[in-house]
Amino acid sequence: MKLMMGQDELELGGKYLSTLRDANDLIDDMDAIHRRMDEDGYLLIRGLQNTEKVKAARQVVLDNLKANDQLDLDQPADIGVAAPGKKGRFLGGAKQVTHTPEFLSVVESPEIMKFFEGFLDGPVLTYDYKWLRAVGPGDNTGAHYDVVYMGRGTKSLYTVWTPLGEVSYDMGPLVILVGSHQFDAVKETYGKMDVDRDHVTGHFTNEPIDMVNQYGGQWQTSEFHPGDVIIMGIYTMHGSLNNLTNRYRISTDTRYQLETEPVDERWIGQDPIAHYAWTEGATVSMEEARKQWGV
């Protein structure tokens, strides 16, 4: 099966793109879970979240898309087909959606909070700002480390990517560059950047094949079902495949850390300030920044 990431075509099962492995068999053994995270830079846990709650959260997002004329109403609404000509919608920080009881009951569920209490061995918090994406036809997310967007607090901060609905290979699922959490040269340069301080565009590359040829690793993805989650550290390079369908790929990414560790102040509180200077003034292109860093 041929899939796309940006301009690159990738064969699933080939050298550059393969499938993620789940960690469900390790779930009762926290030492093994830590070893897996150290080895792979991510954990895929199938069915961690309650499916019905995920479906209810999806419905809230679909209602918002409908209210904004983004759904093709000639198609069954729950499939989420984009209205002709409509693109994706980034709903990060849109509290009318992300702070509904339905949405919070997924991203702040007992299941996910308990997982992190065990994983981090103490009381945990989750950032108030929630990232939510309805990725439209033709769209994808470029490859990046999360640390460049949210690295002002603890580096022991974890992202949870939660699909809100079925995500097939052609709908632009999350894709991880497995091995990238050990790319020391990239971590020491790009990984020290802060988009609001440095005004550099955030995605490290739009050329996934070149990335593997230069640094190694392998892009890996999967199909996802309601209830599945991916958990990853902030130095794990990831993005998404292109959405080749006419349906929205709906997912949320949320953040978790120990309560006792420093937090990135942009993402907490009643009305988090979020990115406040990233696109102000002249922006340095990633190409230019990478030349300066020598990576």
Q: Could you tell me the smallest distance in angstroms from the CB atom of residue 233 to ligand AKG?
A: 11
**CA–CA gap between residue 97 and residue 60 (Å, rounded):** 7
Tell me: does residue 158 bind ligand AKG (CB under 6 A): no
Beginning with the edge strand found earlier in the chain, give each strand of the sheet holding 238-240 in spatial order.
17-19, 218-221, 174-178, 238-240
Q: Which of residues 30-89 bind ligand AKG (CB under 6 A)?
A: none
Cβ proximity to ligand AKG: between 161 and 219 the closer is 161
Nearer to ligand AKG, 179 or 239 (CB): 239
148 contacts ligand AKG (rule: CB under 6 A): no
**270 Cβ contact partners less than 8 Å away, ≥ 6 residues apart:** 128
Distance CA 226, CA 162 (A): 8
Helix (H, G, I), strand (E, B) or coil at 78: helix
The tokens describing 65, both together, are 């898309």
* Stretch binding ligand AKG (CB under 6 A), from 86-94, 110-118, 133-141, 266-274: 133-141
**Residue 146 interacts with ligand AKG (CB under 6 A): yes or no:** yes
Counting Cα atoms < 13 Å in the Cβ hemisphere of 83 gives 11
Position 159 contacts ligand AKG (CB under 6 A): yes
Q: Counting contacts by CB under 6 A, is residue 240 touching ligand AKG?
A: yes
**Contact track, ligand AKG, 247-276, x by CB under 6 A:** ----x-x-----------------------
d(CA 236, CA 147): 9
Among 161, 190, 248, 278, binds ligand AKG (CB under 6 A): 161
